[in-house]
Amino acid sequence: MATASLEVTDLACRRGGRRVFERLSFALGGGALLALTGPNGSGKTTLLRALAGLGRAEAGTIAWRDADIAWLGHLDGLKGDLTVFENIDVAERLRGAAPERARIDGALASFDLTALAARPVRTLSAGQRRRAALARVAASRANAWLLDEPFNALDAASQESLRTVLARHLGEGGLAIAATHVPLDIAGGRTLELGT
Amino acid sequence: MTAFAALFQRDLRLVLRRPGDVAVVLAFFVVATTLFPLGIGPEANLLARIAGGVLWSAALFAALLSLDRLFAADHEDGALDLLLLAPGALELAVLAKCAAHWIVTGLPLAVLAPLLGAAFGLDGRSLGAVALTLLVGTPTLSLIGGLAAALTLGARKSGALLALLALPLCVPTLIFGAGAIEAVATGEGFTVHIAILAALALMAVATLPWAVAAALRQAGE
């Protein structure tokens, strides 16, 4: 996996006609984890979407190098009428990658979803859907993960599974940025508090 | 091309898992079309004269019925973000979705229309023209509807807005589609009409995916 890096300089973003943050600068390299924290409305999702290229920055620059981004938004991005496996498989194909069965199975196992792989997503609980969306990210070979509230609806065991998967991703040289209200508790992780 | 095929197959699979959505569109087409002979009465000449316009108008409304969900479902469940972030061209993704829409809407309408045309007393040649014009013309409706669906994404009363935006743009296709059927019924050739319908379809394929992609990017922000 190639190592991704990110350099953000003097970034400012608006949402709903209001400037949510300005003069934001930070840099991240391979193996780095950044937790975006702050109260509701402080701009965590706005920043994450701008970093992904889904939102527009008002000022400043976002410079990715060698990045292959996997995205988990506030919404899961799963199709209810497809099975968990089909959702992950098609997501990989949409990314232009050839899905690897072993890798998908590994990701499903990491989030205790093996028994649910053939179930349509619409039959799953909110927590199970979130785990399926996380498994989609983990199954990708992307080196930069952008996660919006990844702990949403997860029980304690699933939160631990996510920490384990995140730590493994970072250990492989991956980069991750997560907007979260839940402490990540992963060694080496940095925190950027917005709205202060 | 892999991403194009993946999205095309995904959308077809989603429709197959919910066949009721397509069935409603086709049922609307059947009901709307058969109301005319019932309302106007059994005057064969009059029915044959209006058949082209009725079949094409009903097909247009039926196609529009299903178009408001073309991108709305992806917008609501977050899958649109994945499409916007996919490394392939978004324009190709738009084409894949419109092609899948045509397969499950335009194509069945073209197959069904000659059967309904018989209720209007159309002869064999005219029925063939009905099928051919819809085959050539409905891809344009899917693409124009796709543009309207993308522009109205997230809007309140998006269905009504979509119709207001799409219907005027569909008028040329409607005129030449219905005109071709009338031309055949009156013994004239319809080659020019078909050529114009094909040209409109090619123009739509060549230009509209870019406009739809731009509208989707705007909606994603």
Angstrom distance (rounded) from CA B18 to CA B37: 31
- Residue B1 is predicted with a pLDDT of 57
> Is A149 touching B (CB cutoff 8 A)?
no
Identify the three-state secondary structure at position B52. helix
**Which residues on chain A are in Cβ contact (under 8 Å) with B7?**
90, 94
Half-sphere exposure of B52 (CA within 13 A, CB side): 26
Task: Please name the residue of chain B whose CA is at the shortest distance from the CA of residue A136.
Answer: B82
Residue A13 in tokens: 């973003």
- As for how many domains chain B has, the answer is 1
* A106-152 tens-digit pLDDT: 999 999 999 999 999 999 999 999 999 999 999 999 999 999 999 99
Task: Please name the residue of chain A whose CA is at the shortest distance from the CA of residue B78.
Answer: A77
Residue A3 in tokens: 């190592």
The ipTM estimated for the assembled molecules is 0.92
Chain B from 6 to 45: CB within 8 A of any A CB: 6-7, 9-10, 13-14, 17-18
Residue with tokens 């839940």: A182
**Helix (H), strand (E) at residue A25:** strand A18-28
| DSSP string over B125-182 | HHHHHHHHHHHHHHHHHHHHHHHHHHHTTT-TTHHHHHHHHHHHHHHHHHHHHHHHHH
Instruction: Let me know: does A21 contact A193? Beta carbons within 8 Å.
Output: no
**Helix (H), strand (E) at residue B98:** helix B90-101
Q: How far is B161 from chain A (nearest CA, A)?
A: 23
DSSP one-letter code for B171: H
- Residues A19-37 have a mean pLDDT of 92
Query: What is the extent of the structural domain holding B101?
Result: 3-220
> Is A160 touching B (CB cutoff 8 A)?
no
The whole-chain average pLDDT of chain A stands at 93
pLDDT band at B157 (very low <50, low <70, confident <90, very high): confident
Where residue A42 falls (left for φ over 0; alpha for ψ -120 to 50; beta otherwise) is alpha
- Residue B66 is predicted with a pLDDT of 87
Position B45 pLDDT exceeds 90: no
Are the Cβ atoms of B84 and A77 closer than 8 angstroms? no
Position A188 pLDDT exceeds 60: yes
How far is CA B153 from each of CA A62, A188, B141, B158, rounded to the nearest angstrom? 28, 41, 18, 7
Q: How far is A33 from chain B (nearest CA, A)?
A: 21
- E strands, B22-114, are none
Please name the residues in contact with B59: beta carbons below 8 A apart, sequence gap of 6 or more. B29, B109, B113, B134, B138, B141
> Is A99 touching B (CB cutoff 8 A)?
no
* Of A158, A154, A147, A152, nearest in space to A189 by CA: A147
- Residue A196 is predicted with a pLDDT of 67
